[in-house]
Amino acid sequence: MKAGLALHTDKYQINMMYAHWVNGSHETRAVFEAYFRKLPFGNGYAVFAGLERIVNYINQLQFSEEDIAYLAKQEEQYEPAFLEELRHFRFQGTIHAMKEGSLVFANEPLIRVEGRIMETQLVETAILNFMNFQTLIATKASRIRQVASGDTLLEFGTRRAQEADAAVWGARAAYISGFHATSNMLAGEQFGIPTKGTHAHSWVQTFHNEQEAFDIFARVMPDQVTLLVDTYDTLSSGVPNAIRTAKKLEAQGKRMNAIRLDSGDLAYLSIKARQMLDDAGLSYVKIVASNDLDENTILDLKAQGAKIDIWGVGTQLITAADQPALGGVYKLVEREVDGAMKATIKISANPEKVSTPGKKEVYRIISKGSGKAIADYICFPEESMPPEGGKLKLFNPLHPYMRKNVRDFQAVPMLTPIFDQGQLVYELPTLEEIREHHNGQLQQFWPEYLRKLNPEIYRINLSEQVWELKQRLIAEYMEELGQDQQDED
């Protein structure tokens, strides 16, 4: 398997690049914006992730000789001079993006790509692939973290993930949103995520009996012992055997870490196991639970009084089982016409799918009084924000009664320069810095927006200029359509 990702794109991108090249329009300037239209899982926000992978991808974006040879074999019969152009291809565009760990919302630009049409088109597929998956998993992980409050969260998903990249980058996305460790060693090595592991049922099964299995494991790793107690019978065999092993460790001045429950009624079993451990003077031994957990089961288990300190979460998180895709899209918002940039719109029979024309900025409007976010404000780069103490009009054209003026606010630009004409101008933060940024972001929102069920809808407002341009382009389109229809009559 080769490392380069230049061909990690849909064929139609290459075909459009080729058609532009033949047409002589491949150097035409274009601006695209990536965004999603609907928040996943019914959540009130999403956690933006995927930027580091995008940066790595753009940095190494080059067609290898093998790529060129493969392209030469295609039924499209690309001209050799086009392939020669690709041989020297480097991304020379400009990219702005949200910072990883940021709280983001529907219908706001998360990534903006400006450049020659051929390069902005090529990168669409990979950018959406990285953004959609990682943002989805980071958001799922954030929901789990909301319900687990201060408990420790372990990411156990690798074996059920949709292949290796999903496991490794998914582990990173979960860590961004507050998971504490992963079982995936490659993710640990690659990103510095803390790693944790207990043992499998097979460990117990390979010995004559459970007690022997526990004792040997504890002897080998006396400082890291978590024993899986459900291989045979949790309460009549697993927990009593684990208690005996813990007592042997105590005799050596060591403390057993935890036991792990992986089946049965986790509320009932954890309460009983806690009692048995406490009665044996082992109140320091923690209880880990796993078994197809997600934010709903964890919340429910907590409501039942489960005595669980550490949650191992795999399948449901890494596959985002209840919503396996984020529908992020990448839309052309401006194109070059006679040397000048011109806003462009995508019309759809579905009003939600009509794109918002023009290259845009996103500001987070923060109340200076409360320090909390009021709305995200989308405007054109040339629009200036009101001066200190000035008034900003937030209006929702679809719901005019939702008009609101804000005064004492700070406008935080959300789209950060990442590449400037092909040059990386962004210093990638460490993963710890991204986690801190994410925590800071959560602090900026009232709990009403963060709750798991039926959250308040956070305002995303267009400036009047953006709204007016959108209406004008729709009207122009309608007029043209009307003209065509009359012509047909």
Ligand X SMILES: O=P(O)(O)OC[C@H]1O[C@H](OP(=O)(O)OP(=O)(O)O)[C@H](O)[C@@H]1O
Residues of this chain that bind ligand ATP (CB under 6 A): 263-267, 291-293, 297, 300-301, 304
Query: Taking phi first (over 0 means left), then psi (-120 to 50 degrees means alpha), and beta for anything else, what does residue 483 get?
Result: alpha
User: Minimum CB separation from ligand X for residue 201, in Å?
Assistant: 4
User: Minimum CB separation from ligand NIO for residue 143, in Å?
Assistant: 20
* C-beta neighbour count of 18 within 10 angstroms: 22
Pick what 198 binds: ligand X, ligand NIO, ligand ATP, none; C-beta below 5 to 8 Å, kind-dependent: ligand NIO
- CB closer to ligand X out of 33 and 294: 294
Q: Distance of alpha carbon 427 from its chain centroid, rounded? A: 20
Side-by-side strand order, sheet with 329-337: 340-343, 329-337, 29-35, 111-116, 94-97, 416-420, 423-424
- CB closer to ligand NIO out of 318 and 373: 318
Q: CB within 8 A of 171, min separation 6: which ones?
A: 155, 157, 158, 182, 184, 187, 191, 193, 318
Does 213 interact with ligand X (rule: CB under 6 A)?
Answer: no
User: Minimum CB separation from ligand X for residue 447, in Å?
Assistant: 27
Pick what 315 binds: ligand ATP, ligand X, ligand NIO, none; C-beta below 5 to 8 Å, kind-dependent: ligand X
Tell me, residue by residue from 160 to 189, as one string, x for binding to ligand X by CB under 6 A and - for no binding: x-----------------------------
Give the C-alpha separation, 309 to 270, whole Å: 10
Contacting residue, 200, 303, 325, 425, with ligand X by CB under 6 A:
200
Strand partners, 460: 376
- CB closer to ligand ATP out of 263 and 367: 263
Tell me, residue by residue from 293 to 332, as one string, x for binding to ligand X by CB under 6 A and - for no binding: x------------------xxxxx----------------
Give the C-alpha separation, 273 to 261, whole Å: 9
* C-beta neighbour count of 209 within 10 angstroms: 12
3-state secondary structure of 32: strand
Backbone angles phi, psi at 311, to 5 degrees: -115, 125
Does 232 interact with ligand X (rule: CB under 6 A)?
Answer: no
- CB closer to ligand ATP out of 104 and 266: 266
User: Minimum CB separation from ligand NIO for residue 203, in Å?
Assistant: 10
- Determine the residue with CB nearest ligand NIO: 198
User: Minimum CB separation from ligand NIO for residue 233, in Å?
Assistant: 19
Q: Which residues bind ligand NIO (CB under 6 A)?
A: 156, 183, 197-198, 260, 290, 312, 314
Backbone angles phi, psi at 104, to 5 degrees: -130, 165
CA-CA-CA-CA torsion sign (135, 140, 146, 152): negative
- CB closer to ligand NIO out of 30 and 148: 148
Chain contacts with ligand X (rule: CB under 6 A): 156, 159-160, 200-202, 262, 290-293, 312-316
